[in-house]
Amino acid sequence: MNSGIPTVDLSPFFAQGDEEGKRNAIKIIGHACSEYGFFQVVNHGVPVELMKGALALSKKFFNHPTEEKLKSGPVPGMPIPGGYTCQPERSADKNDYFMMFPPGSSFNVYPINPPGFRDILDEMFSQFVNTGRIIENIINECLRLPSNLLMEYNDDRMWDLMTAYRYFPATKTENTGVAEHKDVNCITFVFQDEVGGLKVQKEGNWIPVTPVEGMLVVNVGDVIQVLSNDKFKSVSHRVVRQARDRYSYAFFYNIGGDKWVEPLPQFTKEIKEAPKYKGFLFKEYLQLRSRNKTHPPSRPEDVISIKHYSIPAQ
């Protein structure tokens, strides 16, 4: 049915008593995070009908005339561009997208049309936060960390964000929707319509992630890779344009910008292993990654990634 990326049933975490189901899910996710950096989840707590409704409303929104969509665009002077961003050029990383922050954030610009889009975005955001906490606790268990360590470390939900995307169809000269990259954050959730296009790199090959209704694609980002000192991997992925428009959502479960990120002692001092990364402020890494897009380096080797903080092996 799908690409070989592990699939996990999260229903045991929403019920009492199924400890064997929980252990099995934790085992699969731990293996997936170390081998693939990606996995898929079903029975994850986000209502399937809500996901379908969110896709339908985003499709209506993105198919409005540009002047109508721009009414929900970023307010001049905002340090973070919430709302709709118009990028009509059909080239790498040029897509229509609508970005929102936690409900109530002063950075949000809500859509005016279609009716109900704002409500469904708020509900989606809340549901993804809940699922993010569950996955975070599972990863905590997979890494055999002290109970609630990741939850207590990652206690600022104001840096989470969610984005609705519309990728333009491929052309004769261009089929890149999002170029190869790794995610900067802790955990990312994606669901896509039936068009597909998401691919994950594994051992030099690109594995397509076939869309399945109601399924969420989950991957760990650079923060988890650093905290675990490479025990869990942040893996390259990309989106390839298809013959028609593609619609999807991504939810980025982040950490606070002022958080210090470095390998945890459980994976360094306590097991007498050298840290593989220097410590850094999360917001400083975000700024460096943003410059990759706003001021692209002339040489590919100058593109900033998590390797920027790598400590050479002795």
Model confidence pLDDT, tens digit, residues 223-262: 999 999 999 999 999 999 999 999 999 999 999 999 999 9
Within-domain flag for 27: yes
For residue 101, is it within any domain?
yes
Pick from 51, 9, 2: nearest CA to 27: 9
2 is a domain residue: no
Torsion angle defined by CA atoms of residues 275, 144, 132 and 74, in that order, rounded to the nearest 10 degrees: -10
186 in any annotated domain:
yes
Q: What is the C-alpha to C-alpha distance for residues 127 and 216, in angstroms, rounded to an integer?
A: 12
Q: Quick check: 149 pLDDT over 50? A: yes
Q: What is the tens place of the pLDDT at every residue in 166-209?
A: 999 988 888 888 888 999 999 999 999 999 999 999 988 999 99
Query: Is there a domain that residue 285 lies in?
Result: no
Cα–Cα distance, 201 to 215 (Å, whole number) = 20
Q: For the chain, how many structural domains are there in total?
A: 1
Residue 43 has pLDDT above 50, yes or no: yes
Residue with tokens 């731990």: 30
Q: What is the pLDDT of residue 95?
A: 83
- Over 60: is that where the pLDDT of 89 sits? no
d(CA 266, CA 280): 18
Q: Could you tell me if residue 270 is inside a domain? A: no
pTM, two decimals, is 0.94
Query: How far apart are the C-alpha atoms of 277 and 264, rounded to whole Å?
Result: 11
Can you read off the two tokens belonging to residue 106? 């002063």
Q: What is the CATH number of the domain that holds 114?
A: 2.60.120.330
* Cβ within 8 Å of residue 236, ≥6 positions away: 180, 181, 182, 200, 201
Q: Which of 46-50, 83-87, 247-251, 261-265 has the lowest mean pLDDT?
A: 83-87
When mean pLDDT is compared across 1-15, 100-114, 223-237, the lowest value belongs to 1-15
Query: In the structure encoding, which two tokens stand for residue 16, read together?
Result: 């009492």
Q: Is 204 part of a structural domain of the chain?
A: yes
Residue 302 confidence class, pLDDT cut points 50, 70, 90: confident
Residue 299 belongs to some domain of the structure: no
Q: Domain of 83? A: 7-260
Q: Say if residue 102's pLDDT is above 70.
A: yes
119: amino acid identity, one letter: D
Q: Could you tell me which residue, 133 or 299, shows the higher pLDDT? A: 133
**Contacts of 204 by beta carbon, 8 Å cutoff, 6+ apart:** none
Query: Residue 79: its pLDDT value, please?
Result: 64
Half-sphere exposure of 244 (CA within 13 A, CB side): 6
Q: What's the CA gap between 147 and 255, in Å, rounded?
A: 18
Of the given ranges (5-14, 84-93, 155-164, 258-267), which has the lowest mean pLDDT? 84-93
Phi–psi pair at 5, nearest 5 degrees: -65, 130
Residue 3: the pLDDT is 58
